[in-house]
Structure 1
Amino acid sequence: MAQPASAPDTSADDAAVVVNDPFEGFNRSVFSFNEAVDAAVLKPVATGYRNAVPEIVRGWVSNFFGNIGDVWSLVNLALQGKPRQAYDMTVRVTTNTVLGLGGILDIATEAGLERHSEDFGQTLGWWGVPSGPFLVLPLLGPSQIRETAALPLDMGWDSSFVQHDPTRYSLLVLEVIDTRASLLTATGLLDTVALDKYSFVRDAYVQRRQSLVYDGNPPESGAQPR
């Protein structure tokens, strides 16, 4: 699914973010394709889902997938050698799984247990693997070469615990719809403010990934980015 990036974090050092986009022509074509698919299929389905499903139920769905993602974040924190954050996420996952009825209730957040979201692309970046050129993937949206290489593990994790194919595919579709529904407001604002939507999304994505790899403390201007 094409996922638009959030607005740039103005607190980050903008000069430290280098946008490497040698495939811009190709990327713009794929970006336009993704936009067309989103407008024709994903956005209408997500809007219908938001309108038809009660907010509390949508919250349960988001919490459930969020809890699964938290387990993967825990694995990546361990791979990055961050014991304190890994411990925090262990407590968070245990709390939500046991007391939150398998994760549909986010008891941990209510208890003040912070979420540390990590993926394998961040883990590769943490250990010095360069991000590589910006790349727009069909249906999946903005990426970089490093993040694209990490995708098989990042995407495979969500469905790895379900062996029944129809159930696995149904959960995947539900996750895509739930994610798109959560972005309806953000994409609506993006449509109104971005003169060049492609450039805005690209720059915001690269800056956000840089910030995530460095845990919100990107390098000073002139330093080599990851």
Structure 2
Amino acid sequence: MKQCAALLVLVAGLPTLVHAAGDPIEPVNRGVYSFNDFADRWAIRPTAKAYDKVVPGFLKSGISNFFENLGTPAIAVNQLLQGKPVRSLSDTGRFLVNTTLGVGGLIDVATHAGFAKHDEDFGQTLGVWGADSGSFLMLPFLGPSSVRDTLGFAVDGLMNPIRFVKPTESRAAVMALYVIDLRAALLGVDQLVSGDEYLFLRDAYLQSRAFSVSDGVTEEDPFADDGFDDDGFDLE
């Protein structure tokens, strides 16, 4: 969808990590992209605009924090699977602090307490352990993905507490609120996408995912072995 492409424009300054997208079913993917664009144009985006206009800012912030907190356990698990136990413990602490002191995650207390935000998923975990991304896929409603990331999305979904919400109608309502809240956060960047939107979205997505799997370190990174840590301090 356009909102995904708009968000991925932020990686335009990243080094080129993929030179050509593996897209053997491009005609099918373009068809799915057109469907997603139609759904966004006539349903999702108008709803998100109404949500953004009607819902008070403090409530929107709380809703966003709530959904972000729900995804933290999966992040902690993937940190552990990637061999990052310290970060996994930090994300676990972040979840516990926000769930308790943050009133179920509505208030982001953990950030102020020094628990940094991270973003890991099972698709990245597979990539860390050497799994190739496979062919690019455009998924209905979900947007850009790949064979590897689609599998990762399914596994992460098993760890999302939303799947335990009963009855089914309530779970669907929570998921709908999540989608609208996410779309509302991207309303301001739609205009940044230009040219062939499908190609932009595909290439930006693959570059962004490669960057995430490598934690931003590439073979061409001039600072990877310069004797300084991530904050610029001499390690010796």
Q: When the two structures are superposed, what TM-score results if normalisation uses the length of structure 1?
A: 0.89
Tell me the SS of whatever aligns to 1:148. Answer: helix
Contact 2:157 2:163 in 1 (8 A): no
Deviations 1:5-58 (A, max 9, x none): 411535533155542122211111111111011001000001011011001101
Tell me the SS of whatever aligns to 1:4. Answer: helix
Structure 1 distance, partners of 2:39, 2:55, is: 23
2:22 to 11, 20, 23: 20
2:159 to 150, 157, 160: 157
The answer to which of 33-42 and 180-189 deviates more is 180-189
Contact 2:63 2:106 in 1 (8 A): yes
Structure 1 distance, partners of 2:177, 2:99, is: 20
Letter in 2 for 1:154: D
2:182 is equivalent to residue 184 of structure 1 = no
2:172 is equivalent to residue 169 of structure 1 = yes
Per-residue deviation, 1:219? 3.9
Contact 1:76 1:118 in 2 (8 A): yes
Contact 2:73 2:159 in 1 (8 A): no
Q: How many residues align?
A: 218
Q: CA RMSD in A?
A: 1.9
Counterpart residue number, 2:231: none
Q: Where in structure 2 are the equivalents of 1:122-137 lying within 5 Å?
A: 122-137=124-139
Per-residue deviation, 1:89? 0.6
Structure 1 distance, partners of 2:42, 2:141, is: 13
Contact 2:63 2:181 in 1 (8 A): yes
Q: Where in structure 2 are the equivalents of 1:1-226 lying within 5 Å?
A: 3-5=3-5, 6-7=8-9, 9-10=11-12, 12-158=14-160, 159-190=162-193, 194-220=194-220
Letter in 1 for 2:185: S
Structure 1 distance, partners of 2:93, 2:187, is: 31
Structure 1 distance, partners of 2:191, 2:68, is: 23
Letter in 2 for 1:99: L
Structure 2 distance, partners of 1:131, 1:219, is: 18
Residue ranges of structure 1 left out of the alignment (5+ in a row): 222-226
Tell me the SS of whatever aligns to 1:7. Answer: helix
The answer to which of 19-28 and 101-110 deviates more is 19-28
* Alpha-carbon distance change, 53 to 15 in structure 1, aligned in 2, over 3 angstroms: closer
Residue ranges of structure 2 left out of the alignment (5+ in a row): 222-236
Structure 1 distance, partners of 2:100, 2:82, is: 26
* Alpha-carbon distance change, 22 to 15 in structure 1, aligned in 2, over 3 angstroms: same
Structure 2 distance, partners of 1:176, 1:15, is: 29
Structure 1 distance, partners of 2:37, 2:163, is: 29
* Alpha-carbon distance change, 3 to 73 in structure 1, aligned in 2, over 3 angstroms: farther
